[in-house]
Amino acid sequence: MTADSRGTIVELIRANYREFTRSERKLADALIANYPVAGLVSITEFAKNGDVSTPTVLRMIKKIGYSGFPKFQNILREELKETLSNPIVKHERWSSEAPEEHVINRFATATMNNLTQSLSQIDPKVFDQIAHLMAAKDNSLFIAGGRITHSIADYLFTHLQVVRTDVHMLPSSSSLWPHQLLNMKNGDLLVIFDVRRYETDLYKFAELAASRGVQIVLLTDQWMSPISSLASYSINVRIEVPSGWDSAVVTLFFVEALIAAVENELWDETSQRMTELEDILNATQRFQK
């Protein structure tokens, strides 16, 4: 479970961001850019890296509910441990803490809480900006996922290749990803999925794509993948459930919402493509009549 039931520190920062002073926002941005590692140094170094004073650090962490820097750092350390948890650790923790009720009910409760909390964190304007980027006809759209999230990325790709042209899915083998970089140009868009345990191959690919001027949209978890430092936009969702595995339900919710938003923005073109696709499917007799 999370180290703080109110949310992760980055979630608390985003929830209180409008209340911060200019200096506090500067510090918050520095922390988010290298989260959570940036906050695990001494308070003096943390302030220096954010180009603010030590009192500014104390004021900011007080605004998100922490009385002192040691408590703030302890929570960051606990969050870092969470991002490194393997399935066995997660299962044992849930097994020891789970109430004595059916797993379906526990799973449903956790999933609904995840969706509610995730929705409270996302700014509708940011969501619209992401959808607009994904609908832009003057860029190529690339989609990438990791060991587990590849299947979600493929789900997004399957739909978007009907909705618009010039959509590309990175293969499951990362050894073939460098070939995709040859086709990436300045202004293109990379939608990438990365949840704990964050994958080195994904980060390196995102880094190389960014160096070519590719914009990045990241779908990640509440602890935030390191790729967030490279991304133009991030969607952070909650993924914990009473299982050794993390849940993809809320991630898939946002994926389907993005598909609907892009489809709506491109409907004139999309409807024609759908009509053509139906003709092709009928000709191949893919589905039973």
Gyration radius of the chain's alpha carbons: 21
Note whether 226 and 180 are same-domain residues. yes
Mean pLDDT across the stretch 237-259? 92
Q: Is the pLDDT of residue 10 over 60?
A: yes
Tens digits of residue pLDDT in 172-203 = 999 999 999 999 999 999 999 999 889 999 99
* Structural contact between residues 236 and 100, judged by C-beta atoms closer than 8 angstroms: no
Model confidence at 1, pLDDT cuts 50, 70, 90, reads very low
Tens digits of residue pLDDT in 250-285 = 999 999 999 999 999 999 999 999 999 999 988 888
> 130-144, 209-223, 232-246: lowest mean pLDDT where?
232-246
Model confidence at 87, pLDDT cuts 50, 70, 90, reads low
- Domain at 231, CATH number: 3.40.50.10490
Instruction: Tell me if 3 is assigned to some domain.
Output: no
Note whether 176 and 72 are same-domain residues. no
| Per-residue pLDDT at 91 | 57
Instruction: Tell me if 92 is assigned to some domain.
Output: no
Note whether 241 and 166 are same-domain residues. yes
Full domain range(s) for residue 55 = 9-83
Give this prediction's pTM.
0.74
Residues in CB range of 66: below 8 A, 6 or more apart? 72, 75
Q: Is the pLDDT of residue 219 over 70?
A: yes
Note whether 275 and 156 are same-domain residues. yes
Note whether 199 and 145 are same-domain residues. yes
